[in-house]
Structure 1
Amino acid sequence: MQPKQPTTNQEKILWIERDDNNFTSIETLPAEFLSMAFPYAKVYFRQDEDCDTLSQNIKLPGFSIWCHDIFALNDIILAPKTPHQILALHFMVADGIVADIFNRGEFLLGEKEVNLFNLHAAFHTAPVKAGNQICSFHINILPAALPDLIKQYPALQHLSTFEIGMVSGPLNKSPYKISAACKELITAIINCRFIEDQAKFFLRRCCADLYINFACQDRLSGVTNKMSPATKETLKEIFDHLVENVQEVFNIQRLAYLYELQITELNTGFEQLFFITPEAFAHQQKMMTAYRLITTTKERLGAIATETGFDNWHALKKAFEAYYGCTPASIRHAQ
């Protein structure tokens, strides 16, 4: 069976991966869309009587970031298309839609939900009602690149359990809600104003962390969560505490004491709620803060080490290199 080609004026091809350079010059982008443009992205803009579509792509080693903002003026049918097979970690940020996946059938892309899709080169379709705004954010990888990514990021090992076949569709059994930890990373990507190498190293780590978070979420999907509402609220307070206090040396005993939780309850509950351990999340926040300070200020590394809870700049340098794959000095002077 051959993929169906879009045939009507209301059907709009939406490239969700592409290898060409037919991007839109930023100078020709309408003024109302300029503030939405990512500094390091290729921008693809289309405007007609039915919809405005702004697609942005950032190619990184092993990852391809895509963000689509679609404003439907009339009823339309989106026809997402990729030139070759991809795995797409897809986050539905705004209004949900029902997609008709080629050879698979209808699938609800719910608002604030995440799925990992195996997508082949075929037209899939998704109707969008007039007045709806779609914000679709996804990070693509090539299936052949997965073994190397797992080798570089062992926390992705769970992804090797998925059967990546010839039929397009979600690899997870059911959709998941976008976790608070993922929202932090997506916001960091969207708000990133770095270019060239400063963007490449930072964004690549954000992509890896989003995949790692999803892998944990899928791995824990069968675990029964018996947390009380009060415990969930306490864990959310701890989450915020770790975001706002990167200068503190991570100490699970101290956190458990401050928030009156057992250590096991804190560790297990935090991972079940945010799909990352509290220690890993604290480290992630420290690294992101260090990256920002190194690239946007002239502060000495020793001062930045203090501000991010490291004993000295040697300890920060070692952690930074392990996390981002570059040295603080090289990224500070990169453009």
Structure 2
Amino acid sequence: MHTSLPGANKLLRFERLTPSYITPTAIPAEYESLIIPAAGTYFREDRESEILSQNINFGPFSLWTHDIWANKNIVVCPFIPSQIWSLHGIYEDSLHLENTEAPSYLLEEKEFNLFNLPSGIHRIPIAAGKKILSIHINIRQDTLLTMIDEFPGLAPLTKLNRHDPGPLNTYPYHSNPICDFLMEKLLSCKYPLKRAYPYLFRICIDLLRNVAAQEAAAHQPLMVDSVLNTNNILQLFAYLREQSFKKHTITQLGYMFNTTGKKLAFEFKQHFAVSIHDFMHMSRMMFIYDLMQKQVISMDEIARITEFPNTLNMIMQVTDYYACSRSTTYQ
């Protein structure tokens, strides 16, 4: 079923062979808080809409964010120069993706889909008064396959296949609290390019890993106990996020939250797709990286605060997590 509404067409390029970014000073001051300094930016405004697009090309994949304000009814027309896979998430509202070769598809707020997008122009009607934030990680299928050795958690996504336009996933992926946490870190990153590049690269990888874990568990039902203990698991998540500098064992966490470590670990993964250990390591690495960039305390002090046995061990782990040192492909 199509949901077309009349409105001015607004071409939105998902990829460009020759970038033509504008300078941040050319963007109105009211949008300054939305700027990711490491990204190249595009901005256009007229009486129908304002569109702020930001892009970072990481090599194996590219990241795009689009903030779109519809002052009147518009039809955003994403242009795809060549066939890609695109992990797409939408925030702040829901929309319909239209394609002449496929049924209209609902883009639900705070959900992700991995789309097979052929070259050409697609249509997304947006009603007057709507504001949406659209996130894309664009990658080629063959490139994703080459990344498995370094990031084996991406493997479930490589098993998807579809030749016609549309989502490769059977069920939408949820922007669970860990995805929201990653998106918050991505959109608020104010580091200059050289310092932001490994940080944002890893955020994209962790986001892809989360949806890959959701894909792997797509046919596993959410157990009754997991549903009943949702508040407890959300409290655990909030605690780990705020205390990311501390080391915990699963047994300790089980004792703190009045359950067994095994039960807590199972329910955490049911809700958030990844393990407690994965989230603790991810948030700890982010915490350390942020402190390193601020340069207000010594490396030895950071190692002490984050409970590493020594500074060298901490630096090795952070380097491994952010520098992609096992492969020169992404340097």
Give matches, 1:128-167, under 5 Å. 128-165=126-163, 167=164
Instruction: Give the partner amino acid of 1:138.
Output: H
The farther-off stretch of 274-283 and 299-308 is: 299-308
Give matches, 1:117-136, under 5 Å. 117-136=115-134
Give 1:62 deviation, angstroms. Answer: 1.8
Structure 2 counterpart SS, 1:315: helix
Structure 1 gaps of 5+ residues are 1-7, 328-335
- Stretches of 4+ moved more than 6 A in 1? none
Instruction: Give the partner amino acid of 1:208.
Output: I
Q: Distance in 1 between matches of 2:245 and 2:7?
A: 56
Conservation of the 8 A alpha-carbon contact between 2:52 and 2:67: yes
Structure 2 counterpart SS, 1:35: helix
Paired position in structure 2 for 1:217: 214
Paired position in structure 2 for 1:198: 195
Give matches, 1:257-268, under 5 Å. 257-268=255-266
The CA RMSD measured in Å over matched residues stands at 1.6
Give 1:101 deviation, angstroms. Answer: 2.8
Q: Distance in 2 between matches of 1:174 and 1:317?
A: 39
Give 1:326 deviation, angstroms. Answer: 6.6
Give matches, 1:238-317, under 5 Å. 238-317=236-315
Q: Distance in 2 between matches of 1:109 and 1:96?
A: 6
Structure 2 counterpart SS, 1:152: coil
**CA 1:102–1:288 in structure 2 vs 1: closer, same or farther (change >3 Å)?**
farther
Q: Which of 167, 185, 195 lines up with 1:170 in the alignment?
A: 167
Q: Which of 231, 234, 237 lines up with 1:236 in the alignment?
A: 234
Give 1:25 deviation, angstroms. Answer: 2.4
| Deviation digits for residues 213-254 of structure 1 (CA, Å, limit 9, x no counterpart) | 000011111111124444111111111111111232221110
Structure 2 counterpart SS, 1:151: coil
Give 1:164 deviation, angstroms. Answer: 4.1
Q: Distance in 1 between matches of 2:260 and 2:240?
A: 17
Give 1:49 deviation, angstroms. Answer: 1.8
Instruction: Give the partner amino acid of 2:90.
Output: M
TM-score, length-scaled by structure 1? 0.91
Paired position in structure 1 for 2:329: none
2:317 matches 1:319: yes
| Deviation digits for residues 76-122 of structure 1 (CA, Å, limit 9, x no counterpart) | 11111111122111111111111113422200001111111111111
Give 1:176 deviation, angstroms. Answer: 2.5
Paired position in structure 2 for 1:332: none
Give 1:126 deviation, angstroms. Answer: 1.2
TM-score, length-scaled by structure 2? 0.92
2:33 matches 1:35: yes
Give 1:17 deviation, angstroms. Answer: 2.0
**CA 1:203–1:102 in structure 2 vs 1: closer, same or farther (change >3 Å)?**
farther
| Deviation digits for residues 259-313 of structure 1 (CA, Å, limit 9, x no counterpart) | 1222222111111101110011000010000000111124222211122232221
Give 1:318 deviation, angstroms. Answer: 2.0
Conservation of the 8 A alpha-carbon contact between 2:87 and 2:138: yes
Q: Distance in 2 between matches of 1:178 and 1:102?
A: 28
Structure 1 counterpart SS, 2:11: strand
| Deviation digits for residues 4-51 of structure 1 (CA, Å, limit 9, x no counterpart) | xxxx97111111222222222222212222222211111111111211
Structure 2 gaps of 5+ residues are 1-5, 326-331
Q: Distance in 2 between matches of 1:308 and 1:230?
A: 33
**CA 1:101–1:174 in structure 2 vs 1: closer, same or farther (change >3 Å)?**
farther
Paired position in structure 1 for 2:177: 180
Query: Between the two proteins, what is the percent identity of the paired residues?
Result: 32
Count of aligned residue pairs for this structure pair:
319
Q: Distance in 1 between matches of 2:119 and 2:100?
A: 10
Instruction: Give the partner amino acid of 1:202.
Output: Y
Q: Distance in 2 between matches of 1:290 and 1:47?
A: 39
Q: Distance in 2 between matches of 1:25 and 1:247?
A: 37
